[in-house]
Amino acid sequence: MEEKVLILNFGGQYDQLIARRVRECNVYCEVKDYTVTLDEIKAFNPIGIIFTGGPDSVYAENSYHPAEGIFELGIPILGICYGCQLIAHHLGGSVTAAADNSAREYGKTLTTYDTDCLLFKGLPEKGISWMSHGDYMEKVPKGFKLTAHSDKCPNVAIADKEKKLYGVQFHPEVNHTENGTRMIGNFLYEVCSASGNWTMEGYKRRAIAEIRENVGDGRALLALSGGVDSSVCAALFAEAVGKQLTCVFVDHGLMRKNEGDEVEAAFKKWDINFIRVNAKDRFLSKLAGKTEPEEKRKIIGEEFIRVFEEEGKKIGKTDYLVQGTIYPDVIESGKENAATIKSHHNVGGLPDFVDFKEILEPLRLLFKDEVRALGRELGLAEYLVSRQPFPGPGLAIRIIGEITEEKLDILREADYIFREEISKAGIEHTMNQYFAALTNMRSVGVMGDGRTYDWAIALRSVSTADFMTADFVRIPYDVLETVSRRIVNEVPHVNRVLYDITSKPPATVEFE
């Protein structure tokens, strides 16, 4: 039987991060809103519950609180920050605003732990924790023991070992907290008695069985973009139902070098209906003369749907539409309905002509790194599994200005050289996204003792945890020198290479 941990979100900013840490400990978990009822919690049957942080004060009139009776279920609970204060507030303690700066703590804080407490078992007695609280526990509930303190705050952590209730004022889920994941692991294994049976092999086996049960003898349709999510989704369904799956791969001619062929080759091992629509000329004709970035995006998205619609009509009646929705999408949308379709995902919108019995989203409970792990478990080609984020409009938004076939050829070659040299240098692990872009700037150069007036290529590489903010990567000069030399020498009509050293913000990751 699979063990599950329930994470109740009280509006905290780190709910996904808590879930990631739990799963890193090989324990399955799901994030749900604090409004879940007691009956729903019982039905979920968790081995433990984690309360997230939140922006409110527990004593405020409209603050968030869990279902009444949750503390009588006998299920171990770990409260983090606001969650810790909830435990104190509901069980007879007192939470109040810190007077002046006496107990307020923000940022990295030296903390002393009671290592006799199961939460801190086997850890150093002192370490840095990440604090972010203006309220504090003025009075600890009866039966609870203080298990951590800092210079400013005596009540950093509390524990009732008998009732298996634990609370910490800091955030163990963030990287700034030393040994934070080990603390969460201690809660899971020492308090909840987890066995750690969450694996991708197990998930694959269960997902395949569920797909076969849901689809039966029906037919499924998937719009394959070639991205990680849709590719893993296609591989999973291919493994489960084979010929009952039809994948429509719309090749809009805006992909990187060899990618269309690579996507097609990756699925030859499965006996599925694979339709590759070579629509390059169609897309380029629609984009002719268009220079405004948002207009280009809309044209490509609209045309993608039109092509998908036309192919769908050829296929005929289909029972299920398969979507590559992943867990961050579900959490951020705040919706638990599996049929909720987000317009940005895969096809850019549902074609009106299709009458589906159901929308199937087999990856909707997986994080991105878990999706990649599942892809490897399924034997999907590594070049697809480890593929970097690639925008739906493809190279169209990495070419500044009008899109032409000549510009696409130039950019593909330059981008290929850049990615090849990054791989040769073995530094791809230092960056989350890297690519070349073709600027709309032409400049004077000298090549072969002659004057040139050609295009400038811009290189971009960023490191980021969430793509909300990003920093440019300090690529070694010798690597940049090699890339620049090769691009200028090997790619026609390029005489200058630039490196973008702008972070996000103020820039974005992509150029358009």
Average model confidence (pLDDT) across the chain: 88
- Residue that is last in its domain, among 191, 214, 229: 191
Cβ atoms 377, 201 nearer than 8 A: yes
The distance between the two most distant Cα atoms of the chain, rounded to a whole number of Å, is 86
pLDDT digits (tens, 9 = 90+) for 159-186: 999 999 999 999 999 888 999 999 999 9
Question: What b-and-e string marks burial along 206-229, b requiring 16 or more CB atoms within 10 Å of the CB?
Answer: ebbeebeebbeeebbbbbbbbbbb
Note whether residue 510 is domain-resident: no
Rounded to whole angstroms, the Cα distance separating 416 from 419 reads 5
Rounded to whole angstroms, the Cα distance separating 318 from 218 reads 8
> What CATH number is associated with residue 312?
3.40.50.620
pLDDT at 144 over 50: yes
Asked whether residue 420 falls in the same domain as residue 367, the answer is: no
Confidence of residue 340 (pLDDT cuts 50, 70, 90): very low
> Secondary structure of 304-325 in the HEC alphabet?
HHHHHHHHHHHHCCCCEEECCC
Question: For the chain, how many structural domains are there in total?
Answer: 3
Note whether residue 95 is domain-resident: yes
Instruction: Please give the share of the chain, as a percent, with pLDDT higher than 90.
Output: 61
Asked whether residue 227 falls in the same domain as residue 174, the answer is: no
Asked whether residue 238 falls in the same domain as residue 345, the answer is: yes
pLDDT at 339 over 50: no
pLDDT digits (tens, 9 = 90+) for 17-44: 899 899 999 999 999 999 999 999 999 9
Rounded to whole angstroms, the Cα distance separating 294 from 277 reads 24
- Residue that is last in its domain, among 356, 385, 414: 385
> What CATH number is associated with residue 451?
3.30.300.10
Instruction: Give the per-residue pLDDT at 224.
Output: 87
pLDDT digits (tens, 9 = 90+) for 237-273: 999 999 999 999 999 999 999 989 998 998 998 999 9
Rounded to whole angstroms, the Cα distance separating 362 from 245 reads 14
- Domain interval for residue 249: 200-385
> What CATH number is associated with residue 160?
3.40.50.880
Asked whether residue 361 falls in the same domain as residue 255, the answer is: yes
Note whether residue 97 is domain-resident: yes
Catalytic member of 133, 171, 252, 345: 171
Q: Name the range with the highest mean pLDDT among 394-398, 445-449, 479-483.
A: 479-483
Asked whether residue 425 falls in the same domain as residue 359, the answer is: no
Cβ atoms 10, 56 nearer than 8 A: yes
Asked whether residue 204 falls in the same domain as residue 232, the answer is: yes
Instruction: Give the per-residue pLDDT at 72.
Output: 95
pLDDT at 57 over 90: no
Asked whether residue 251 falls in the same domain as residue 226, the answer is: yes
Kindly report the CA angle at 330 between 324 and 335, in degrees rounded to 5? 125
Rounded to whole angstroms, the Cα distance separating 199 from 399 reads 41
Q: Which string of DSSP letters, residue by residue, matches 246-282?
A: EEEEEE-S-SPTTHHHHHHHHTTTS-SEEEEEE-HHH
372 closest CA partner among 196, 242, 203: 203
Asked whether residue 58 falls in the same domain as residue 133, the answer is: yes
In which residue are the tokens 């090849």 written? Answer: 420
Cβ atoms 419, 388 nearer than 8 A: no
pLDDT digits (tens, 9 = 90+) for 195-232: 998 999 999 999 999 999 999 999 999 988 888 888 99
Query: Please, what is the end-to-end C-alpha distance for the chain in angstroms?
Result: 48
Instruction: Give the per-residue pLDDT at 102.
Output: 52
In which residue are the tokens 């309360």 written? Answer: 51
pLDDT at 457 over 90: yes
pLDDT at 59 over 90: no
Taking residue 319's Cβ as centre, other Cβ atoms within 10 Å add up to 19
Instruction: Give the per-residue pLDDT at 474.
Output: 97
Asked whether residue 214 falls in the same domain as residue 186, the answer is: no
Confidence of residue 62 (pLDDT cuts 50, 70, 90): confident
Note whether residue 217 is domain-resident: yes
The question of whether 171 is a catalytic residue gets the answer yes
Q: Which long-range contacts (CB under 8 A, 24 or more apart) does 201-210 make?
A: 201/377, 202/2, 203/366, 203/370, 203/374, 204/236, 204/239, 204/374, 204/377, 204/378, 207/236, 207/240, 207/362, 208/236, 208/239, 208/240, 210/362
Note whether residue 398 is domain-resident: no
Confidence of residue 4 (pLDDT cuts 50, 70, 90): very high
Note whether residue 13 is domain-resident: yes
Q: Is 177 exposed, middle or buried (0-12, 13-18, 19+ CB in 10 A)?
A: buried
Instruction: Give the per-residue pLDDT at 351.
Output: 46
Asked whether residue 312 falls in the same domain as residue 416, the answer is: no
Note whether residue 313 is domain-resident: yes
Question: What b-and-e string marks burial along 260-298, b requiring 16 or more CB atoms within 10 Å of the CB?
Answer: bebbbebbeebebbbebeebbebbbebbeebeebeebbe
pLDDT digits (tens, 9 = 90+) for 84-141: 999 999 998 888 776 655 555 566 889 999 999 999 999 999 999 988 656 778 888 9
Note whether residue 392 is domain-resident: no
Instruction: Give the per-residue pLDDT at 23.
Output: 92
Taking residue 438's Cβ as centre, other Cβ atoms within 10 Å add up to 25
pLDDT at 354 over 60: no
Phi-psi region of 106 (alpha: psi -120 to 50; beta: other; left: phi over 0): beta
Instruction: Give the per-residue pLDDT at 105.
Output: 55
Instruction: Give the per-residue pLDDT at 334.
Output: 54
Instruction: Give the per-residue pLDDT at 346.
Output: 38
pLDDT at 348 over 50: no
Cβ atoms 126, 112 nearer than 8 A: yes
Instruction: Give the per-residue pLDDT at 56.
Output: 84
pLDDT at 449 over 80: no
Query: The tokens of 43 are what?
Result: 């039905």
373 closest CA partner among 263, 228, 238, 249: 228
The question of whether 29 is a catalytic residue gets the answer no
Asked whether residue 26 falls in the same domain as residue 122, the answer is: yes
Rounded to whole angstroms, the Cα distance separating 65 from 31 reads 16
Asked whether residue 242 falls in the same domain as residue 169, the answer is: no
- Residue that is last in its domain, among 191, 220, 237: 191
Query: The tokens of 302 are what?
Result: 């609209």
Catalytic member of 25, 81, 117, 192: 81
Catalytic member of 3, 173, 303, 512: 173
pLDDT digits (tens, 9 = 90+) for 423-435: 999 999 899 899 9
Phi and psi, residue 78, nearest 5°: -115, 120
pLDDT at 338 over 50: no
Confidence of residue 155 (pLDDT cuts 50, 70, 90): confident
